[in-house]
Amino acid sequence: MAEFKFRHSIQVRYSDIDAQKHVNNTRYSTYIESARLAYLQHLKLWDGKSFLNLGITVADVHISYRKPIYLGQTVIVATRISRLGNKSLQFEYKVQDAENAEICATAETINVAYDFHTEQSIAIPEEWRIVISAYEGFD
């Protein structure tokens, strides 16, 4: 688990820029959300269409801001799952400038396995556990 295997690219939009002329702090959570869902699709744990089958919900978000992001930049969100619990898992993210790899922000989220059909938290499905462990190199 030494490194990030998955990277997701994000175009900055003019509508991400606020009155301070840089990307608004709240958009970073949108960027990592896009990266998280792309990660699940990459591992074929979600099809990108059936929102009732999304499988996880957000319990906790922490973002640490390092450098401002400006219009015209493309950012890469390096994404990994760093911990698998019984009912929850932790994602880690690095938001980096696509050109020079400078870190603009780091973030972690805790996501809870969730059945949107019954609106209840559930244990992480065994299939998820196998696929994620294989991808991230967990024992």
Residues that bind a second copy (CB under 8 A): 9-11, 13-15, 17-21, 24-27, 29-30, 33-34, 37, 41, 48-49, 51, 54, 57-65, 70-72, 116
Q: Identify which of residues 62 and 86 has a Cβ nearer to a second copy in the complex.
A: 62
One-letter amino acid for residue 60 of the chain? D
One-letter amino acid for residue 29 of the chain? S
Which tokens go with 5? 């295997």
Q: Identify which of residues 41 and 90 has a Cβ nearer to a second copy in the complex.
A: 41
Least Cα distance to 57 among 98, 99, 118 occurs for 118
Q: Identify which of residues 51 and 139 has a Cβ nearer to a second copy in the complex.
A: 51
Q: Identify which of residues 96 and 111 has a Cβ nearer to a second copy in the complex.
A: 111
Residue 136 contacts residue 130 (beta carbons within 8 Å): no
Give me the least distance between CB of 2 and a second copy, in Å please.
Answer: 25
Give me the least distance between CB of 104 and a second copy, in Å please.
Answer: 13
